[in-house]
Each structure stands twice: as C-alpha cells, then as structure tokens.
Chains A and B, each alone.
Chain A
Amino acid sequence: MSATKQALTYMAVLVFVVLINFWLPRLLPGGPVEYLTGGGEEGVIFLSEVQKQAMLEYYHLNDSLWIQFMTYIQGLFIFDFGLSFTYKAPVFEVIVTHLPWTLLIVGAATALSMIIGLTIGLWSAWKYPGRKDRSIFMVMLGFSAVPEFLIGMLLLIGLSVKAGAFPLSGAESPFAQAEHWLGRVIDIGKHAFLPIATLTIGNLAGMYLLMRNEAIRVRQDTYVEFAAAKGIRERAVLWRHVARNSALPLVTVIVTRIGGMLAGSVLVETVFSYPGIGKLLQEAILARDYPLLHGLFLMMTLFVLCLNLLADLIYPRLDPRIRVAKKGETA
C-alpha cells in the first residue's frame, strides 16, 4: 500500500466519522429539551411552552437539519462545536476541564499494565513448559474473564467501603485547601489509585498473554539456542535476545490498545464517579447534548486514528520481515 493510498484511507475514515458524528446522536429518540422535561432521577420539571420555544431557538434546534448540519461542518474547521447544552459553556472548554483526569488514569494504567504484564509474561515464557507457567497462565486467564466494572466494584467495596483506605469517589477531596502542592498531589494520587488499579488489572492479562506467546515463539528460534550454546548467561539470553525480539512486534499492538483503554475509561469512571471524559460522555448521551457529543466523539476518533497512524508508521521499521518486503520503498 503506497503512502498516498494510506492517506486516502485515513481521510475517508475521518470523513465518514464526521458524518456519522452528526447524524447518530440525532437518531436517538428525544432531544435535549425532552431530557430536561423527562424527569429521570431528578424528577420532572415544569417548562412552559414559551420557555421551551426559547430553548429550542437558543440551541438552534428549530433550524432545519440541513442548516444545523452546515453549522456543524463550519464549526469543525475551527474546532468550534458551539455551546454544550448541559454546561452552557463552549464544548472545547468543557472537554479541556475533564480531559486531563482521563489522561492521568489511562496514561498511568497503560504504563503500569505494560511494565507488569510484559515482565510477568516474559518470566512465564521462561518457565514454559512447567507448573509455574501453567498456574500464572490460569490466573491471568481468570483475570481476563472478569469485566472491568466488576473489578472496580470489588475494589471499591473492599478497599473504600470496608477498609476505608481510599476515598469513595471523585478526583480530589472537595475544597481541601491544601497548603502545599505536595498535599494536593497525595490527595489526587489517593483518589486516582483505585481507578488506575482497575484499569491496570483489566488490561494486565492482555499484555501478559501477548508477551508470553511471543516470547515462547522467539525462544524456539535458532539464534536463541545458539546464544545459549555460546555459553552466554541465562539472564543475558533472556533480556538481550528473547525480551527484545519478542517486544518489537508487540509495540504496535500495544499502541492500538491504548485506544481501547480510552473506551474502558467510560466504565471505570462511572464506577468511581471520576470526572474524566468517560463520565462526561455517559452524561452527554443521556442528556442528548449534541454539541458535546460531537466534540467528544471527534476527539476520540482523532485519538484512535493518530495511534493507528503511529502504529502503521513504526511497524515496518520494527519488524524486519516487513522491512525486507518493503525494501526500496522509503516510508
């Protein structure tokens, strides 16, 4: 596939998403005004017809769909999605307020699950075949079968409710006037611990399995045997030869998985009531907050596309077999 072709594919995907992004939320029954008047948890509110009309006019919801669509397209080019219906503030600002928290837990969980998962996977492969490998393999399979929100619930009940070691929800203690920045960091860390732990455990098994299988495959390669035959110490063989060579193909898989973590954050943030974009997305869907939904979906799409692009770009450089195939083509 040539570079231009690839660029075209990406463009096509982006255009498709931009279109879907506008129409999909509007296919849901009811709109933002119905959400307000529909009750739900908070109970019904009284809204006179005058007030309702004023609302529709304000949000341009009584414009024709076509005009709404044109406004949406125009806004795309300057990253202006308009005002969020629920927050009554520019979508961009609302997202910027919540995004760092998601990046914090997803970033930390990605790093942790990689370090832990890959290490255990390598060790497990080294012990293969054997009882130790078997038992770890079984435990990890068990982990991978438990859904993330259940892990979150169990951690929440065990460590927050019963043991009281961690706060129940939120990202910070409310209005804690920490004198020192260190106090604030500790507070944020305490709140982020369980969400990070949940996401990490949820992704650990995947990382482990990838590494283990790849390392077992590499171990059977001849150069590993040769290295061992040369009398190189076991540890050196493990790290210098097996680990390196099995980690390479994994890089791309891992990069694309980060996108999946972002999706996983929706469930985790809901369980821990953590104020990131996952929770924001859930609320936006319920409230039919079209502009906010546009902003969030587009951001997530761009994020995933960029990760994919990154994987596409680095993959040929990492896997010698592909590099050979692509010889003569400068990427």
Chain B
Amino acid sequence: MFFSEKFYIKSILAILIICLAVLTAGCGMQKNAEQVDSSEQPITAAGEVSIAQPAANEVKQIRIAWGNSGYPSPFAFSASGPGGFLRNSFLFDTLTWKDEHGVIPWLAKSWSVSDSGLEYTFELEQGVKWHDGEQFTADDVVFSFEYYKSHPFMWTGDISQIKSVARVGDHEVQFTLNNKYAPFLTDLVGIVPILPKHVWEQVDKPLEFRDSSALVGTGPYILKEYDEKAGQYLYTANDSYFKGKVRVREVAYINAQNKVLSLQKNEIDATMVLNYAEVEQMVKEGFDVIKSAPTGSALRVTFNLEHPQLKDKRLRQALAYAVDREEMASKITGGEPMVGNAGIIPPDSPWYNTQVKQYEYDPSKAERILDELGYTKKANGLREDLKLNVMVSSTSPEAQVMQEMLKKVGVILNIQQVDSATFSAAMGENKYDMAVTGHIGLSGDPDYLRLWFLGQASNSLAARGKQFDHKEFQQLAVMQMTELDAPRRKEIVSEMQDILAEELPTLVLYHRPFYFLHKQSQYDGWFNTAGGIADGIPLWDNKAAFIDVGN
C-alpha cells in the first residue's frame, strides 16, 4: 500500500483550506454584525431616539427601492445619479427648499434682496439644534460656504457665484454675489447643505471622514443603519425637528433588483418606475400612481457639431423630420408620449415657449432635404455616401428605433454600444457622430441651457468643453442668468429656445415621465415637487413630504 501517515495529513490539507474559508466567512460576518450593532448613531442631546407608537396620522415605516448611493455624509455620497444627494438631504438642511408650490423657507425663515440684486440677507430659524444637541447659528452658515471653497461640494450648486458670506447677527447672514444670479435661491442655497462648524472645522480630509459626527446635521432624520455591502439605508425620525413633526417614523431604502417584483412580494412599499405597461399592471393590483410633473427629463440625440457632414444644420433638420418621435415614445414607454421640444425645455415647464419651431414627422420632407444636400439614393434604396454612427452607453431602444426609421429615408445608422466611462471620454474628445443620452434636470430653473452650451459643464450634457458656437445664443444665455424680472427672463429664454430649435445642436426625442407606485392608504403625503427637488429631480422622496410642516 502506498499510504503513509504523512500522506493522510496532506490530503486533509485541501479540505482544511475549504473549511478555513468557510470559517473566515463566518468570522467576517461576525465582524459585520458588530459593525451594525455599533451603527452610526449620533448621540442626541435628548438621549435616545424614542420609539413611540405612531399617532393617528403617523406611519411606522416606508420602504422605498433605490440602489447604493454611498456613505451619506455631505462629502462622501455618490455623485452618480440623484440618490446620494437625496440620502444626504434627510440628514442635512439647506437655507431654502421646495414643496409642491415652489421655493419655501427652510433653515432661513425669510430673506430680502437688495435693489442691486447682489445682496441677499437671510434671517435664520432660531432654536434649531444639530443632532448632537449643539445650537445652529449664523456661524455655521458662514463656515459652510468658506469650507466648500477649499473642499468643493461634489454635486451641483455653483459656489463660484458667491463673492462673500458675512454674519450680520446670531441668526442673520448676508450673501454678496459677483453678479446678478437668477437661480440663486433654488440652484445654490437650495442645494448646498449647511454643515455644523464644530464638527468640520477640525476635518481636513472630508471625503474620508467616517466618524459618526460626519452625519450630524439638522435634518428630519437620523441614520440608524447603513448596510454598506448591500447599499441599503435605514432612517429614523428626529423627534426634535425644527420644521415640524416627522410623520413617517422610519424610511428604509432597499436595494431591489427588480422593483415591480419586490413590490408584489411586499419587500418594498413604494418605487419609481419608467415603464407604463408596468404601471398599468400594478394599478390593477391595487397600487396608486403619481406621474412626475413637470416631466423634467429628456432622451435626446447630441450631434457632433464638428463632424464634416453633421455640422450642416440642414442635415440635422432632415434627420429630425425623418424620425417619428411620437411613435418612438409610445412604443418604448407607453402612456401618453410627450414628444421632445426642439427647443429642449419640456412642454409642461412654465418656461416652455409655445411658439417655438417644431419638427413634425415628415419623411418626404426629409428625403427632399437629403436630395438637396446631394446624398442621392442608389439603386438599393440607400444613400451610400451618408453613413452615420450613433453612440449609446447602455442598451438603447431609442437608437434601434431610430436606425429603422432612418433606413426608410435611406440613411444608414450604425449603433456603437459602449460603457459609461468610454461614452463620456469619447464625447469629451469629440470622437463620435451622434450620441443618445437620457437624463433628468430639465424641470428646474432654465439656467441649464447656459451651462450645457457654454462649455461650463464637464459632462455629456453637451459636447464637453465645446461651446455651441452661436454668438447671439451665448449673449442671451448670460443675459437670462442675470435677469431677475421673471416675465422679462421668460422672453429671453423663449428666444434661446427659438435658436436651439432652428440650429438643433441636440434633438430631444421625447420627455420621459417617471411614475411613482405606492399605496395612498399607507401614506398620503406624497406630492410632485414644483420644478423638481433641488435643481430638478423629479422624484418623490422630498423630505418635506414626510413632515407636518408647522406642527
């Protein structure tokens, strides 16, 4: 026989290793469990979060579907998508906020604007406490904007518009701007969270700061648990919230892979969906639905304006006539399609220009323009000298539908699917013909037209760093930003839409509504935020919806 005792020991080795692995797994989990037990619970002055029985109009818990958005401190939350900002907004407050009617006072009780339009004086709420029991004062506001200068807030909110922030009294601050800035109340002090000075003045690496005090804000909720591995959040009400009683005692964000299934299986209570067919099915099953209004999103084609063929606006217009965008929208999302405004601003926005030029579906007109441009049809029915590529960053049914539609007028479209980082890099380097993007942020202040097209945006909202080379448009864009008179500003924004519709640097295919599935019987406080949360997020987890304001 070949076996020595030695051999037995060795042969068990392999099995031992496996056992070891399983054991390690066990230990690791033990460790996780401990971390969870000592979860990020800021110590409240009042002692602990009381777990009272919910009163008549209170709800014990609402579970909403959303993915991982990172650690929700003001510096560590994930900047991809609106999730991180919203998770942070439950813990931290801003000077102003929005509800279903528009801008409302929040940490600032009231404000006044100087005649020059350059000075805003805010009177702050008194008796507001940070989660750790410290008093909130004007010093915190001054400190926050000072701190953001050296440690930028990694979201939106253009701090560079601010010249200085000065303390006028214990509960009064004055902002001085470099120039008039129309979206100041909504897109700047309505977005940037106010930090507790006593915590952050000692922090020089805010992104890595993971002490429990990193989550000390003034907000309506306290983070009870953050399940880091799965990216799930559990918030519990802050009982001494200055703005009023928090009606929803606990909010949980669950990382559901399939939202509709999770809803059916009662793993979650509410979720956002895009597909109208799913909405219809769930309404049959007894769920209630809210449709986002204003829509605030766009699925659109960006043209490379340096492309030898596409730089001719007539070709861009021909392509616009050749695509049946209404058909496309109803095929892809269902419901009542909202065809894209050639001037970009969605038709349900108060800034929409009703007179703006639109491109009806007119294939014969498209063919005529293409013929005029010299792209003649060959015997096979195709215009061989016009072959275009369209780049997409995820599976894009829009590109596929467009490919079919353009084929009808003889244009060959080739779809290039790449991942998100490649997509953005190609746009930045202008190495593309056309690109399809879908995003939100069109329901808020129309200043985004300036940001997209004046090379301010470092992203794929427009060809990055490439200005839309149109003198008149650029002048109008700066004018509207500094125009504080709303009716006059609307005129300017209307003119900008006219230019965009004529020039078509981008073609909006359709505006996609979001739908919110929930149960009204469980909680009835949901609403659509006017102009979207912050700078136009068309979602429903607005903290104001969870609070009885003024009680």
Contacts and interface: CB of A to CB of B under 8 A. Distances in A.
A28 B421 contact: yes
A87 interface: yes
Which among A40, A83, A317 has the highest number of chain B CB atoms within 10 Å? A40
Contact of B459 (A42, A47, A169, A258): A47
A154 to B, nearest CB: 16
A103 B33 CA distance: 17
Contact of A38 (B7, B15, B18, B424): B424
B48 interface: no
A51 B459 CA distance: 11
A41 B438 CA distance: 9
Interface string B357-397: 00000000000000000000000000000000000011000
A94 to B, nearest CB: 8
A97 interface: yes
Interface size class of A (residues with CB under 8 A): 35 or more
Contacts of A90: 208
B451 interface: yes
Contact of B439 (A34, A43, A98, A286): A43
A45 B439 CA distance: 8
Nearest to B464: A37
A243 B115 CA distance: 94
Contact of A188 (B29, B257, B438): B29
A147 interface: no
Given A29-B426, A88-B208, A108-B22, A255 B460 contact: no
Nearest to B160: A50
A47 B79 contact: yes
Contacts of A34: 420-425, 428
Given A48-B158, A100-B27, A273-B255, A29 B421 contact: yes
Contacts of A133: none
Contacts of B418: 29
Contacts of B254: 174
Contacts, number: 246
B28 A96 contact: yes
A39 B439 contact: yes
B80 A275 contact: no
Contact of A46 (B10, B229, B448): B448
Given A107-B22, A317-B6, A47 B255 contact: no
B165 interface: no
A175 B234 contact: yes
Contacts of B56: none
Interface stretch (B128-136, B261-269, B307-315): B261-269
A169 B257 contact: yes
B420 A87 contact: no
A170 B24 contact: no
Contacts of B522: none
A251 interface: yes
Interface in A152-187: 161, 164, 167-172, 174-175, 184
Nearest to B253: A174
Interface stretch (A52-60, A66-74, A124-132, A209-217): A52-60
A36 B258 CA distance: 23
Nearest to B22: A107
B70 A40 contact: no
Contacts of B255: 169-170, 174, 273
A3 B265 CA distance: 59
B78 interface: yes
Which among A37, A42, A100, A103 has the highest number of chain B CB atoms within 10 Å? A37
B223 to A, nearest CB: 12
Contacts of B225: 175
Interface string A100-139: 1101101110110000000000000000000000000000
Contacts of A161: 261
A176 to B, nearest CB: 11
A264 interface: no
A318 B252 contact: no
Interface string B337-364: 0000000000000000000000000000
B25 A47 contact: no
B516 to A, nearest CB: 17
Interface string A300-316: 00000000001000100
Contact of A47 (B10, B27, B458): B458
Interface string B439-461: 11100000010010000111111
Contact of A103 (B24, B63, B83, B158): B24
B230 interface: yes
A168 B424 contact: no
B210 interface: yes
B309 to A, nearest CB: 24
Interface string B63-81: 1000000110001101111
A197 interface: no
Interface in B390-435: 393-394, 418-428
A101 B230 CA distance: 11
A288 to B, nearest CB: 5
A100 B33 CA distance: 12
Interface in A250-306: 251, 254-255, 258, 273, 275, 286-288
Contacts of A287: 80, 421
A24 interface: no
Contacts of A140: none
B127 interface: no
A44 interface: yes
Nearest to B224: A175
B152 interface: yes
B256 interface: yes
Given A43-B82, A54-B154, 7 more contacts: A39-B438, A106-B21, A174-B63, A174-B255, A188-B29, A275-B230, A310-B17
8 contacts: A30-B422, A38-B460, A39-B424, A40-B419, A97-B228, A104-B29, A275-B229, A286-B420
Q: Which 9 A-B pairs have the closest CB atoms?
A: A100-B28, A42-B81, A30-B421, A38-B424, A30-B425, A37-B459, A40-B420, A38-B420, A34-B424
